């Protein structure tokens, strides 16, 4: 009996040492003395353990000892693979989360707000706007005034969906901004149809009223006669002459303006002296005839 208890305690201590990898439960339920003079012990298994079991022979009086492990605890290889898959999924989720992070000039943008990608894009956007009011916003990522003003510009864009807002990043298009004579930020220019540039000014968060007043002044619908003007001719020529940007522009041919014909004004001339002497004078003729009649009498 002492030998049986020592065997049981041996398995119990081994189970306690390896409980992180395998869970083995060996509980002696009862020991019966056989006629052959040996003990026969039946083992009670932990009911919480799954049905998967491994049977092996031991020197525990020639009896079988059932070794069982939890399915909840995967084997060493499976555990490592599952841990790697969890880490990969977390890394993928983290990467997607960082990929969706918006920059401050992209937050709150409305459908009528567009970032300009090149000089040609700016010219085409202004040309295709028609009679719609277009606001060109020049900003810089490192400009604190631009960052503070951006949320209010987004609110005004949301309140005026019929106005097109074009954003020009000064750091990405510095050479183009030089050609357009933009040297202070934040800076705004208003364009409409055949009128071309309506106004240009710089304002900050403290002087936002200047922007609102310009928006209210130029927003009413107006029909402009003629093609959309966009940038001025000198600005287009400056962009085409800039070697740092790829922009081609062919100057428009100058049409010769016809000179109006001079009008010849003919004034009525006074009758000449000869003509005046040739005409008979009624008073003289009358006097001579009167003298002839008097003499005849």
**Boundaries of every domain in the chain:** 2-68, 113-241
b/e burial code for range 204-232 (CB count within 10 A of at least 16 → b): beeeeeebeebbeebeeeeeeeeebbbbe
Q: Residues 244-274: pLDDT tens digits?
A: 999 999 887 766 666 666 655 555 555 555 4
Mean pLDDT, residues 33-61: 49
Reduced to 3 states (helix: H, G, I; strand: E, B; else coil), residue 295 is helix
Give 68-86 as a DSSP string: E--SSS--HHHHHHHHHHH
Q: Cβ(144)–Cβ(113) under 8 Å? A: no
Q: Given this model, what pLDDT does residue 99 score?
A: 54
Give 234-282 as a DSSP string: HHHHHHHH-TTS-----PPPPPPPPPPPPPPPPPPPPPPHHHHHHSPPH
Residue 86 predicted with pLDDT over 70: no
Q: How confident is the model at residue 146 (pLDDT cuts 50, 70, 90)?
A: very high
Q: Which of 254, 242, 253, 255 is nearest to 122 (CA)?
A: 242
Q: How far is CA 78 from CA 54, 74, 92, 149, in A?
A: 18, 6, 21, 55
Average pLDDT, the chain: 73
DSSP 198: E
Rounded Cα distance, 262 and 237, in Å: 37
Q: Cβ(246)–Cβ(240) under 8 Å? A: no
Mean pLDDT, residues 12-29: 48
- Which residue numbers are catalytic? 143, 146
* The length of the chain, given as a count of residues: 297
Rounded Cα distance, 39 and 32, in Å: 6
Rounded Cα distance, 199 and 189, in Å: 6
The pTM is what?
0.55
Q: Residues 162-192: pLDDT tens digits?
A: 999 999 999 999 999 999 999 999 999 999 9
- Listed in sequence order, the residues at least 6 apart from 289 whose beta carbon sits closer than 8 Å to its beta carbon are none
Q: Cβ(67)–Cβ(55) under 8 Å? A: yes
Q: Given this model, what pLDDT does residue 26 score?
A: 46
Q: Given this model, what pLDDT does residue 296 score?
A: 44
Segment of 63-77, 81-95, 218-232, 269-283 carrying the highest mean pLDDT: 218-232
Rounded Cα distance, 288 and 39, in Å: 193
CATH code assigned to 113-241: 3.40.30.10
Percent of the chain with pLDDT over 90: 45
Q: Given this model, what pLDDT does residue 243 score?
A: 92
Q: Cβ(70)–Cβ(50) under 8 Å? A: yes
Q: 81-85, 93-97, 155-159, 211-215: which has the minimum mean pLDDT?
A: 93-97
Q: Cβ(200)–Cβ(187) under 8 Å? A: yes
- The two beta strands, 133-139 and 64-68, are unpaired
């Amino acid at each position: 009996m002492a030998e049986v208890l020592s065997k049981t305690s041996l398995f119990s201590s081994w189970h306690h040492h390896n409980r992180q990898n395998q869970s083995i439960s060996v509980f002696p339920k009862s020991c019966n003395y056989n006629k052959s003079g040996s003990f026969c012990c039946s083992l009670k298994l932990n009911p919480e353990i799954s049905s998967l079991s491994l049977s092996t022979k031991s020197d525990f009086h020639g009896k079988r000892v059932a070794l069982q492990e939890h399915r909840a605890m995967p084997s060493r290889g499976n555990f490592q693979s599952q841990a790697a898959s969890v880490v990969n999924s977390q890394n993928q989720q983290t990467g997607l989360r960082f990929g969706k992070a918006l920059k401050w000039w992209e937050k709150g943008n409305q459908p009528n707000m567009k970032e300009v990608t090149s000089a040609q894009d700016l010219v085409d956007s202004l040309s295709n706007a028609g009679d719609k009011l277009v606001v060109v916003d020049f900003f810089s990522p490192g400009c604190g005034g631009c960052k503070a003003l951006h949320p209010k510009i987004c609110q005004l864009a949301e309140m005026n969906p019929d106005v097109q807002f074009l954003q020009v990043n000064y750091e990405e298009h510095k050479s183009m901004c030089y050609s357009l004579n933009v040297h202070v930020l934040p800076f705004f220019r208003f364009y409409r149809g055949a009128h071309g540039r309506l106004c240009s000014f710089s304002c900050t968060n403290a002087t936002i009223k200047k922007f609102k007043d310009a928006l209210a002044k130029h927003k009413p619908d107006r029909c402009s006669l003629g093609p959309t003007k966009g940038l001025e001719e000198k600005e287009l020529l400056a962009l085409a002459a800039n070697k740092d940007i790829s922009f081609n522009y062919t100057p428009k041919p100058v049409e010769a303006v016809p000179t109006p014909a001079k009008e010849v004004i003919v004034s009525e001339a006074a009758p000449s002296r000869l003509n005046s002497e040739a005409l008979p004078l009624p008073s003289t003729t009358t006097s001579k005839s009167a003298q002839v009649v008097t003499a005849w009498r």
